[in-house]
Amino acid sequence: PAFPSKPFESLYAAREWVYDFVHWYNEEHRHSGIQFVTPAQRHSGAERSILVNREAVYQAAKQRNPERWSRGTRNWAPVGEVWLNPENQDAEETGIRDKAA
């Protein structure tokens, strides 16, 4: 969804936009940091079967047309733990943020 280009007309309009955005972000948008699955798919456990299927599709495509592939297929293994802002997490863990203040 597009970000608003002007202030919301009401609190209701703002809430409605945020609700729609959060739904899109969690249920529809495929995130590159988690192998192009949605957060909802990852949270529900569907991530593993989706990634196994993708691996099979890519391998079959490579076998059918090997000349189109100069390297191996994409790594579709599930990723481990992820963070929204890992650099902030590191700073908090090492106390850098406290030292900078």
Tell me if 77 is assigned to some domain: yes
Tell me if 19 is assigned to some domain: yes
Tell me if 4 is assigned to some domain: no
pLDDT band at 84 (very low <50, low <70, confident <90, very high): confident
Cα-based torsion angle of the residue sequence 81, 86, 90, 93 in order, rounded to the nearest 10 degrees? -60
Q: What is the CA radius of gyration of the chain?
A: 20
Interval 36-72: pLDDT, tens: 999 999 999 999 999 999 999 999 999 999 999 999 9
Tell me if 3 is assigned to some domain: no
Interval 7-17: pLDDT, tens: 999 999 999 99
Instruction: Locate the DSSP E strands across 1-101.
Output: none
Range of the domain at 79: 11-100
Total domain count for the chain?
1
Q: Please tell me the pTM assigned to this model.
A: 0.74
Tell me if 41 is assigned to some domain: yes
Tell me if 44 is assigned to some domain: yes
Collapsing DSSP to helix, strand or coil, 96 comes out as: helix
Tell me if 71 is assigned to some domain: yes
Tell me if 92 is assigned to some domain: yes
